[in-house]
Amino acid sequence: MKNFAALMLCALSSAFNTSAYSSILAVGPIPAISDVSPGLKKNLDSLKGRIESSARDCAETAKTMNSIGQYSSSIKKILDTGEVVVLQVSGDMICDGVHSSSYQYGIAFEKASGRRLDLNQIYNIASRQDGRLFVRPDLIDLVKSDYRAVNENNPSCLSAAGWEDDLANLPITFSPLSDGSIVIYYAAPDVSAACFPALRLKPNEFSKFRDAKQASKYALP
């Protein structure tokens, strides 16, 4: 009887430890999209699969550190036209029990083929270097103005050294909105990510760079 009690105590202890280090993972669903072709479905499933793989990696990292991983991600539909769907992917995570990190980016797909659509070929708000996009120099002052506005109540972001250089030198993705404006997502390092929420360009601020013919082809604003 004593041995049985000892075995039960070990079993309960093992279950407690497993529970204590179980991660909390939440990956949101693909939003409802009209006219999904087989190619688009394949790439949407692949997108979600990459997010789920990232969540599992976070859980494994937490496990090796005897910690609880936390990972929350969502996929939001920004635009859904007859030709293209534009999505915003966001995530927040703590994989070591202490330090938080986050990401946010825009991604677009052609509906018929499912292929990634290069929005910069339409809006031309960025220069391309080594496969990454950076805000074009003649738009930097406008982006700086919006950075100041969104961080008006966050003085540490405005006093931090180098933020003006970061706006020019950190890679971006972006999404057009239905009102014709553009939201810019910066791939900022974790230490400064809180200072880099999505920034916005108004339609008149980049209209001279926009390819109206290409925008019309994809029914984009």
The answer to whether residue 16 sits within a structural domain is no
Task: Please give the mean pLDDT across all residues of the chain.
Answer: 90
Residue 74 lies in a domain: yes
Q: What are the two backbone dihedrals, phi and then psi, of residue 189, each rounded to the nearest 5 degrees?
A: -65, 155
3-state class (DSSP) for residue 212:
helix
CA distance 182 to 96: 34
Cα separation of 94 and 105, whole Å?
19
- Output the pTM of the full model: 0.86
**Judgement on whether residues 100 and 141 belong to the same structural domain of the protein:** no
State the residue range of the domain holding 103.
Answer: 24-117
In a domain, 142, yes or no: yes
88 and 104 inside one domain: yes
**CATH number of the CATH domain containing 32:** 3.30.565.40
Quote the strand ranges of the chain, DSSP E.
24-27, 70-80, 84-94, 100-110, 126-129, 132-135, 172-176, 182-186, 199-201
**Dihedral angle at the C-alpha atoms of 98, 154, 171, 198, nearest 10 degrees?**
100
pLDDT of residue 83: 97
Give the pLDDT confidence of 149-206 residue by residue, as tens digits. 999 999 999 998 899 999 999 999 999 999 999 999 999 988 788 899 999 999 999 9
Identify whether 13 is part of a domain.
no
pLDDT per residue over 102-112, tens digit each?
Answer: 999 999 999 99
